[in-house]
Structure 1
Amino acid sequence: MAEQLQELLTDELEDLGVIHFEAEQDFAAAEERLSHSDFDLVILDVRDASDGSPSADIEGRGRELYERIARIRWVPVVFFTGVPEQVRALEEPPLIRVVTKNALDDIAPAVRDGLVSGVSALTRRISGLVEDYVRNFMRDVVAPHWNEMAGADQNEIVPVIVNRLAAWLRENGLHKLDQTVEGDLAAVAARPSAARVYLMPPVTHHLTAADLVVDPDGGWWLVLTPACDLYEDHPDSNVAKPRTAKAHYVRLARADRVFTEDEKRSESPAISAWHASSKGSKDKAQAQRAFRVDDNRYRALPRYLDIPHLVIDFENVKSEELDEVRAWKRVATLDSPFAEAMLIAYSRSVGRIGTPDVSFDDVQVQLELMKAKPASVPAQVSTSAPRGEVVRD
């Protein structure tokens, strides 16, 4: 069957160029080869009958192998099996596909999708970039300062390397990965990008501050509760007393979509009012408030991938039970410094103290910083004299 697959895929995928195939009949040998060599895609059976006829205890060995090779070097996988129910739950098209052995017509499209995704090449480039940076960091930073670090526990040095790596990748990664995917990444990195605003998917296993979440009705919300009140240790962490969230309720600000699906309406009240007034100048200033960076009520977020253009409304805030919000869809977390800026803006909005406007025009006139404005003289009522003369005060 492996030979049949090779012939089929060679013919069906001829337009992709020359494809090199290697086959292993033994799962252990396949795992060893994958740990030392780069491949762009794996076609994987589920049953392992290399040591005899299939039986219940070997039905899931392909799934076990997938989990092991995913930890070694992750590449797109097409399960090609007679027991698809064993791995159907793993399917994540187009990078993880399940094809039954009696559906040969489906195997070539599944393999094509995995290859043209470019994920394997991107993984190699990113892995190479990280390895190069770590080597250079050890040579150029750690080695010259080793006398200062020699007395430190290695566990204290590791965070320094990790934090430096994260900061360096943030500032330089796209330039180094230029043209890894279609388009000019260096050119994209040179201008402000919406991708810089979000961490997708969220990097924490638990709900945290500045998470963008979607409720069961499709409404978008931004988490405002401080991260310290939501922190929880991972269930698998080796902690004697795992920390749990201190908050019972989560504070959420409404994130109105600037455009609905038909792009003719808006969920934002200020923008909707402007549309309803036929875009008259009267309501224009209110709509523009949504996009000002110094406004006390609104903050705008840019569209990116599945995230639409959003306007955060600090006057439309509610609290929901933590357990309920945990069940909502977490789409992204705002990256630093956008997360901090959003939370500070909310704090300033709810914590400000309003005062009446006080005019210092007369002081500025005295300092010659401005010219005196013409005084408006109230109109006086005219009266008539006894003989009919007009008298003006």
Structure 2
Amino acid sequence: MWNFVAQNWQQLGVTPDRIALAYLLARRLAISLSGPGIRQLARDLGDPTGAAAIEGRVHPMQYYVMPPVEPTPLAGDVYKGQVGDQNGYWVLLTPSCDLVAGREKADWVLFARSDLLSEQAEYQKWREGLPQPPGPIQEKLEALLRNNRQAKGIQPDRFHFLPGALALPDMVADFQQLTILPRSQIGSLKRLASLDSPFAEALLSRFIRYFGRFRADSAVP
């Protein structure tokens, strides 16, 4: 990043559009901190292997902004607390645009309960089979983690896996376990993290797909 600035400052420094320059530098900084940049930063922070980012895979920390930066709630925010008689984790599904401070459009907000991965049958059977769980058990757990849960009577889009990162545990959001709260009561829950883009959009897309299903009977026998 700093090499880029030093090599190009003579050209960049004279531009009168300082906002555009700020965006350019911010984008260059973001790019420099991805891929090899992340591995180098991990080594600088004491990781001897620099294995913070695995090629071809997303690190769980890339899913989240922790703690949340935006002051107003966002769709995909992860909360913890008591809702009714249930205490646990919740993910916010109400559109972000309906919760903008001063322009709120939602009197009520929608949450999906997020259960711990360790409580799921696929995980428990996999753990019981360690150190070498049978292939079918391994495959069922992997299907759950890939948001393609395989079980009799289950519609895969009903569930959405949220990987654990730092203090957040591995969780599975269940779009059948929905609850609503008055917007004024959001503050009673602890806001832990915001799902970053594109992971927030992926969550909402699966939720919409699950509830937007319809069946049209065929006219052909």
State the TM-score bracket (shorter-chain normalisation). Answer: 0.7 to 0.9
Residue by residue, what CA displacement relative to the aligned partner does 1:149-177 show, whole Å, maximum 9, x if unpaired? 83x53123322322332343244432232
1:253 aligns with 2:117: no
List aligned pairs for 1:111-190, cutoff 5 A: 133=1, 135-140=2-7, 143-144=10-11, 150=15, 152-184=16-48, 186-190=50-54
| Equivalence for 2:98 | 229
Give the C-alpha shift of residue 190 in structure 1.
2.3
Which structure is higher in strand share? Answer: 2
The one of 56, 71, 89 equivalent to 1:205 is 71
Counterpart code for 1:293? N
Counterpart code for 2:145? F
Give the C-alpha shift of residue 357 in structure 1.
8.6
| Equivalence for 1:337 | 198
The change in CA–CA distance for 1:231 and 1:137 in structure 2 (over 3 A counts) is: farther
The one of 114, 122, 147 equivalent to 1:293 is 147
Give the C-alpha shift of residue 142 in structure 1.
5.9
Give the C-alpha shift of residue 310 in structure 1.
0.7
Q: Provide the secondary structure at the position in 1 that maps to 2:175.
A: strand
Q: Provide the secondary structure at the position in 1 that maps to 2:50.
A: helix
Identity %: 28
Question: Counterparts of 2:115 and 2:219 in 1: how far apart (Å)?
Answer: 34
Question: Counterparts of 2:143 and 2:219 in 1: how far apart (Å)?
Answer: 23
Greater relative contact order, per chain length (Cα 8 Å cut-off, separation 6+): 2
| Equivalence for 2:153 | none
Give the TM-score, by structure 2 length.
0.72
2:42–2:52: 8 Å Cα contact kept in structure 1?
A: no
The one of 174, 187, 193 equivalent to 1:313 is 174
Q: Provide the secondary structure at the position in 2 that maps to 1:195.
A: helix
The change in CA–CA distance for 1:184 and 1:288 in structure 2 (over 3 A counts) is: closer
Q: Provide the secondary structure at the position in 1 that maps to 2:111.
A: strand
1:289–1:298: 8 Å Cα contact kept in structure 2?
A: no
Root mean square deviation, CA, Å? 3.4
Question: Counterparts of 1:168 and 1:356 in 2: how far apart (Å)?
Answer: 53
The change in CA–CA distance for 1:302 and 1:138 in structure 2 (over 3 A counts) is: same
Structure ID, larger Rg: 1
Counterpart code for 1:349? Y
The change in CA–CA distance for 1:199 and 1:175 in structure 2 (over 3 A counts) is: same
Counterpart code for 2:169? P
1:174–1:185: 8 Å Cα contact kept in structure 2?
A: no
1:202–1:332: 8 Å Cα contact kept in structure 2?
A: yes
Question: Counterparts of 1:298 and 1:357 in 2: how far apart (Å)?
Answer: 28
Q: Provide the secondary structure at the position in 2 that maps to 1:215.
A: strand
* Range that drifts further, 136-145 or 182-191: 136-145
List aligned pairs for 1:66-77, cutoff 5 A: none
Counterpart code for 1:186? G
The one of 324, 337, 348 equivalent to 2:209 is 348
1:196 aligns with 2:65: no
Question: Counterparts of 1:144 and 1:174 in 2: how far apart (Å)?
Answer: 28
The change in CA–CA distance for 1:288 and 1:162 in structure 2 (over 3 A counts) is: closer
Q: Provide the secondary structure at the position in 1 that maps to 2:33.
A: helix
1:201–1:331: 8 Å Cα contact kept in structure 2?
A: yes
Question: Number of matched residues?
Answer: 197
The one of 214, 230, 250 equivalent to 2:80 is 214
Give the TM-score, by structure 1 length.
0.43
Question: Counterparts of 2:219 and 2:210 in 1: how far apart (Å)?
Answer: 21
2:91–2:111: 8 Å Cα contact kept in structure 1?
A: yes
Which runs of no fewer than 5 residues in structure 2 stay unpaired? 130-136, 149-155
1:177–1:185: 8 Å Cα contact kept in structure 2?
A: no
